[in-house]
Structure formats: structure tokens, C-alpha cells
Amino acid sequence: MMLSFFDQFMSPTHLGVPLIALAIALPWTLYPTPTSRWLNNRVLTLQGWFINRFTQQLLLPLNQGGHKWAVLLTSLMIFLFTINMLGLLPYTFTPTTQLSLNMGLAVPLWLATVIIGMRNQPTAALGHLLPEGTPVPLIPVLIIIETISLFIRPLALGVRLTANLTAGHLLIQLIATAAFVLMPMMPTVAILTATVLFLLTLLEVAVAMIQAYVFVLLLSLYLQENV
């Protein structure tokens, strides 16, 4: 029974071919594309308003050099948001519960921010490893600590997203199983459990949106330090 709870996190295959690529490519087909008309429909108008507001909020703390990342960060936010939301549907697979995918997104983007900082302002980038006014005996220790914290950043990005989504999916499956088992024996308790399940599902919808936003927000903060 306990093993079956984790079967939902296994990458589905068909004829030996992993379907995770299809799950990653599917979200882009769900969004309507802009037309050449002067007036768009309500869906396109709402989509454009959301993207503009998010981009403005994301680029607010960045200087002019960081605005070049607007398309990348906004696309990443929409991608993660859509995958997380689709994963809450029944009989679906959530690619962002795979640590390999999240690390594949986090490591290259984090490394790009570090390389940009080392190329454009190497003195300031290396200065982050040693706070100003540090006593001389603590300099070697602080450099080691700051270097470790720097390399932990992409791991924290990937693990945070994976752990939050995995924990939410497990809780939903555990409570749903409990409600199903209790229904013939204790209907009242089963109804209360189903109510808790409904509230937890609403919470998971919020978590799916927040985690996508936090992932991109932290990347923008890392970028802010290096541009």
C-alpha cells in the first residue's frame, strides 16, 4: 500500500518511451495565441494583463541590464504555473515532482547569473563572499561558508519546488484514500474527511501558484546581485 502512494511520481512510459517530454510540451498548446485583430477576446485580454502585471512586478527591483531576462523569466513562470496546476487534475502526471527536471532548470539559470556577475563586475561578485568589516581571523571561515551557501542555491531551488509539490500530492492521496475507506463504515467521519480533502485541494492550488512564483522570484534576486 505504501509503495502505491509513490507510484504517482513515477514517470509514465508508453512502449518504453518516457512521456515526460509530452507532459512538458503540452502546456504550451493550452494558451491562446494573439491574433491580428484590433480587439482581442476576453481570454487573450486577461492573459495579456496577467503577463504584463507579473513582468512589471518581477522587474521592479532589477536595473536596466536585468530587463533582458524578462521573456525568459516570464515564460518560466507561466511554464511552471501551468504544469503545477495540471498536475492537480486526476490521472495526470506532474513533471515538477521530479528532482531531475527541477535541477535541470535551476542549475543552468543559477550558473548563468553567476557567470554574468563574474563577467560584468567580478570585484562586486567576489565581494559577496566576504562581508565588509569582517575581522581578520574570521575571513577564511566566512569565505568557505559564503562559497558553500552560493553553491547550495540551485539545490535549494530544485528541492523546494520538488518537496512542496510531492508533499501536497501525498497528503491529497492519503486523505482521499482515508475518505474512501471510511465511507462504508463511518459515513459522518468520511464526509468530514472529504471536507478536509476539499480544503487541502484549495491549499494545493495556492501552493502550485506560489511555488512557481517563488522559483522565478529567487532567480530574479540572484540576478539582481550580479547585474
User: pLDDT tens-digit profile of 98-156?
Assistant: 888 899 999 999 999 989 888 888 787 777 777 777 787 878 888 888 889 889 999 99
pLDDT tens by residue, 9-21: 677 776 776 777 7
pLDDT of residue 159: 92
Answer for the pair 21, 14: CB distance below 8 angstroms, yes or no: no
Phi (first) and psi of residue 17, to 5 degrees: -100, 120
The pTM for the full model equals: 0.83
Phi (first) and psi of residue 19, to 5 degrees: -95, 10
pLDDT band per the 50, 70, 90 thresholds, residue 205: very high
pLDDT of residue 161: 92
CA 211 – CA 95 distance, rounded (Å): 14
Query: What three-state secondary structure class fits 92?
Result: coil
pLDDT of residue 33: 73
CA 72 – CA 123 distance, rounded (Å): 27
pLDDT tens by residue, 16-36: 767 777 778 777 777 777 777
pLDDT of residue 1: 44
pLDDT band per the 50, 70, 90 thresholds, residue 210: very high
